[in-house]
Amino acid sequence: MNLRQYRIPFLWFYFFSLLLWIVEEVYTLVSPPDIFDRYRVVVATVESFIALSSFLTIFILYKELKIEEGENGQAQTVIHDLKRTNRILKNPSSGFWQEVSAQMEEWKLTDTEKEIAILLLRGFSHQQIAGVRQKSLRTVENQTASIYDKSSMRGKLEFISFFLTPLLPEED
């Protein structure tokens, strides 16, 4: 639902309602009481309408704020990814591993987790990592799960693609 298309007409309508309310209030103050009795239903209706339109305005502004917040978050993610890609592409041979190291620091991986993460990036299986590190398969699986948890990744493929995607050329 695109709320932006209703913003300007609604704000004009809201402004007109406020103006009408002010005119109505001034009229009731300068008129004799018997006229006020005849128009009190109109006054109450107008005041209720203005209150309702105020709540509706607040609701619309809240929805727009949430939409903008989501778009802002997406934009920040894209900017972060583009900066990462730029750093890697400036110096592909060492830039990739520097970026991997910086990202692991950002995720606060332990030295053991960093070592396992590098082996994962090199394509090692859990069994191969357990053999290289001389640890049990269960230990490697637990440490790998910790890496995925800290990096907010769901598995090995997503973890590897996070680092390799910036190196891929754009699709035509």
Residue 172 domain-assigned?
no
Write down the pLDDT at residue 139. 92
Q: Of 77, 102, 135, which residue constitutes the final position of a domain?
A: 77
2-37 pLDDT, tens digit each: 656 666 777 777 778 777 777 776 776 666 666 556
Write down the pLDDT at residue 39. 67
Q: What residues make up the domain containing 28?
A: 4-77
Q: Give yes or no for residue 144 having a pLDDT over 90.
A: yes
**How far is the C-alpha of 159 from the C-alpha of 145, rounded, in Å?**
11
Residue 143 domain-assigned?
yes
Q: Is 134 left (phi over 0), alpha (psi -120 to 50) or beta?
A: left
Q: Give all strands (DSSP E) within 2-72, no chain letters.
A: none
CATH assignment at residue 102: 3.40.50.2300
Q: Of 21, 47, 77, which residue constitutes the final position of a domain?
A: 77
Residue 125 domain-assigned?
yes
Q: What is the model's pTM?
A: 0.53
CB 23 within 8 A of CB 17: no
Q: Give yes or no for residue 145 having a pLDDT over 90.
A: yes
90-99 pLDDT, tens digit each: 766 666 777 7
Residue 85 domain-assigned?
no
| Residue that has been written with the tokens 């972060």 in this structure | 80
- Both 163 and 98 in one domain: the answer is yes
Write down the pLDDT at residue 97. 78
Residue 83 domain-assigned?
no
42-85 pLDDT, tens digit each: 666 777 777 778 778 878 888 888 888 889 888 888 887 777 77
| Residue that has been written with the tokens 């990202």 in this structure | 103
Into how many domains does the chain fold? 2
92-136 pLDDT, tens digit each: 666 677 778 888 888 999 999 999 998 998 889 999 999 999 999
- Both 72 and 111 in one domain: the answer is no
Q: Of 51, 77, 103, which residue constitutes the final position of a domain?
A: 77
- Both 96 and 64 in one domain: the answer is no
